[in-house]
Structure 1
Amino acid sequence: MVTYGAEYLKRLLAAVERFEQAFERWMETQVESDLRTSRGLYPTVHVKDGQDQVSVRERELDVAETAGAAARAVAVTGARIGVAGLGALDPIANWSLMSAPKALFSPQDVRNTAATVRGRLGMMIDEAETATETAVPGFAPSELHPVIWTAAAAHWTTHQYRVAVREASEALTVHWKTRLGRHDVDDTPFWQQTLSPGEPETGRPKLAWPGDPADKTTRSMRGGLEPLGKALNSLATGLNLTVRNVTTHTRDELTEQEGMERLAAYSYFARLLDKCEVRRVDEALQST
């Protein structure tokens, strides 16, 4: 079972609280009813007479923005509401449907869901902070490298582990292509060129492991092995072939354990890349 760090859970709790504040500010501009009053045919909210439309729209946008973050907390806590014919839905993510005909939720449904999420997050935070150390440490995916977890999070929390790994692998490549200005090449050649030995060329910067290549700490614990920089090239190619390509070109789902292992591999690779130096051709010198 996935465990989440206390700090991550606290950030989710803060997001829910921001949503609640924005929601209540918006509700000040609305006439509120419930599903029984609307008879299942009409909206459960509509704008009060005499409201400034610009102000209403601004508050509505605030709700939409904060709902995006708060909905992640619903996925983590599982606090959804069952709707006949549609299954379990998230009232926070679907708050705007209250203004539509045949509204699925009432304002009280949204409030109740937010309160339930806060309660569950509070319990999860207490458990995370008071948990004692065990022989096998818990896995906190939110502590993975930010590029990896940001890309994987939305899919991981809905148990789409294969898609989470695929998105994380692609996100790391896009991240470094953007940093190096290399959108002119496919993924595997990009890593091969970027991590290969030798000097950078015009339009082809390189990532190099810092330090003297002759130093054993740079080369490895054994001087006879290839330098770590070249090992990174092999690691990039290996991950691309065994993880990224498999999750992209097949539909075989991964287990949670398999997904964790693959994300952890990419997270470690991402942290190694962060330690590398970016080496570019000195354009000014080359033009003289």
Structure 2
Amino acid sequence: MATYSAGYLKRLLAAVERFEGLFGRWTETQVESDHIQSRGVFPTVRARDGQDRATIRGLELDVAEAAGAAARAVTVTGAQIAVAGIGVLDPIENWSLMSSPKALFTPQEVRTTAARVRGRLSTMIDEAEAASESATPGFAPSELHEVIWTAAAAHWTTHQYRVAVREASEALTVHWKACLGRNDVSDTSFWQQTLSEGEPEPGKPKLAWPGPAEDQTVKSMRGGLAPLAGALNNLATGLNLTVRNVSTHTRDELTEQEGMERLAAYSYFARLLDQCEIRRAEKPEDT
């Protein structure tokens, strides 16, 4: 079973509470009904007469944003609702369907789900805080680097550990390609060019470990260690060959332990990259 830190669960709880507040403000502008009143054909909400449409649209955008953050809590707590003929759905994520014909949810069902999620999160927070007092340190995947965990979370919580690792590894490459504007190159070539030695070329910025290139990492060892800048390229290559490629091109499922170890390796790599400097080629002076 996935383990979450108390801090992460508290952030989810805050997201749910924010959603509840904004959802409540929005429903004040609506006339509510239920499945019986709507006869399963009509929406379960409609705008009250005299309400300003621009105000309603603004509130709907606020609720949509809050729902995006709060929906993760529904997955974590397992508070989805089974809808006949449709399957298992998250009422918070799909709150806007109430305004559509044949509405799948009612406002009360959305409120009930949010309350259920809050209750379960409170219990999980108590359990996480109690566990943190144990002498044996725990491992919380949610505390991994943000890029890694954001990509992995949805698959991790459904025990698809191989897919979670694959998505996390690809997300890191996508993240840095976007940061450096390098969508013109394959993933392998991107890391080889971005972490290679030498000066950046126009349109090909590099990530480099900060500090003078001649600095040694450990001076007390014979000859010292190579600068970390040179090792990053090897680390990227090693992770891609032993983790990313394997998780992408095979269907062998990973255990939770194996998945955690691989995500942790990518998380450490991601944090090292965050410490690097982005170096770009100097623009030639106008002549």
Q: TM-score normalised to the size of structure 2?
A: 0.87
Contact in 1 for aligned 2:216/2:224 (Cα 8 Å): no
Measure, in 2, the Cα distance between the counterparts of 1:9 and 1:171. 23
- 1:131-177 Cα offsets, whole Å, 9 max, x none, are 34445422212211122122223333343333322222122222223
Larger mean CA deviation between 163-172 and 197-206 belongs to 197-206
- 1:246-279 Cα offsets, whole Å, 9 max, x none, are 3333444433322222111100111122233334
Measure, in 2, the Cα distance between the counterparts of 1:59 and 1:274. 36
TM superposition outliers: structure 1 runs of 4+ over 4 Å: 211-216, 218-222, 224-227
Partner of 1:56: 56
How far the C-alpha of 1:85 sits from its partner, in A, is 2.9
Work out the number of aligned pairs and report it.
Answer: 287
- 1:80-122 Cα offsets, whole Å, 9 max, x none, are 1222233322111111222223322221111110001111111
Q: Counterparts in 2 of 1:144-159, with a 5 A limit?
A: 144-159=144-159
Partner of 2:245: 245
How far the C-alpha of 1:227 sits from its partner, in A, is 4.2
279 and 100 in structure 1: CA distance in 2 versus 1, 3 angstrom threshold: closer
Contact in 2 for aligned 1:212/1:218 (Cα 8 Å): no
188 and 29 in structure 1: CA distance in 2 versus 1, 3 angstrom threshold: same
How far the C-alpha of 1:216 sits from its partner, in A, is 4.4
Q: In the alignment, does 2:168 pair up with 1:188?
A: no
Partner of 2:174: 174
How far the C-alpha of 1:63 sits from its partner, in A, is 1.8
Partner of 2:27: 27
The alignment yields a C-alpha RMSD, in angstroms, of 2.6
232 and 51 in structure 1: CA distance in 2 versus 1, 3 angstrom threshold: same
Measure, in 1, the Cα distance between the counterparts of 2:219 and 2:166. 31
Measure, in 2, the Cα distance between the counterparts of 1:89 and 1:149. 23
- 1:34-59 Cα offsets, whole Å, 9 max, x none, are 22333333322222223222222222
Partner of 2:84: 84
Partner of 2:94: 94
Contact in 1 for aligned 2:217/2:224 (Cα 8 Å): no
37 and 209 in structure 1: CA distance in 2 versus 1, 3 angstrom threshold: same
Question: Partner of 1:154: helix, strand, or coil?
Answer: helix
271 and 16 in structure 1: CA distance in 2 versus 1, 3 angstrom threshold: same
Measure, in 2, the Cα distance between the counterparts of 1:220 and 1:6. 41
Q: In the alignment, does 2:70 pair up with 1:36?
A: no
Q: Counterparts in 2 of 1:77-156, with a 5 A limit?
A: 77-134=77-134, 136-156=136-156
Partner of 2:161: 161
How far the C-alpha of 1:284 sits from its partner, in A, is 4.7
200 and 44 in structure 1: CA distance in 2 versus 1, 3 angstrom threshold: closer
Larger mean CA deviation between 82-91 and 132-141 belongs to 132-141
Measure, in 2, the Cα distance between the counterparts of 1:79 and 1:157. 13
Question: Partner of 2:217: helix, strand, or coil?
Answer: helix
The one-letter code sitting in structure 1 at the alignment partner of 2:272 is L
193 and 61 in structure 1: CA distance in 2 versus 1, 3 angstrom threshold: closer
Partner of 1:66: 66
31 and 238 in structure 1: CA distance in 2 versus 1, 3 angstrom threshold: same
Partner of 2:264: 264
The one-letter code sitting in structure 2 at the alignment partner of 1:108 is Q
Gaps of 5+ in 1: none
Measure, in 2, the Cα distance between the counterparts of 1:221 and 1:179. 36
Measure, in 2, the Cα distance between the counterparts of 1:218 and 1:180. 30
Question: Partner of 1:217: helix, strand, or coil?
Answer: coil
Aligned-pair identity (%): 77
Measure, in 1, the Cα distance between the counterparts of 2:54 and 2:159. 40
Contact in 2 for aligned 1:218/1:227 (Cα 8 Å): no
Question: Partner of 1:207: helix, strand, or coil?
Answer: strand
93 and 220 in structure 1: CA distance in 2 versus 1, 3 angstrom threshold: farther
Measure, in 2, the Cα distance between the counterparts of 1:164 and 1:205. 29
- 1:51-75 Cα offsets, whole Å, 9 max, x none, are 2222222222222221111111101
Measure, in 1, the Cα distance between the counterparts of 2:277 and 2:47. 56
Larger mean CA deviation between 108-117 and 160-169 belongs to 160-169
The one-letter code sitting in structure 1 at the alignment partner of 2:25 is R
Partner of 1:2: 2
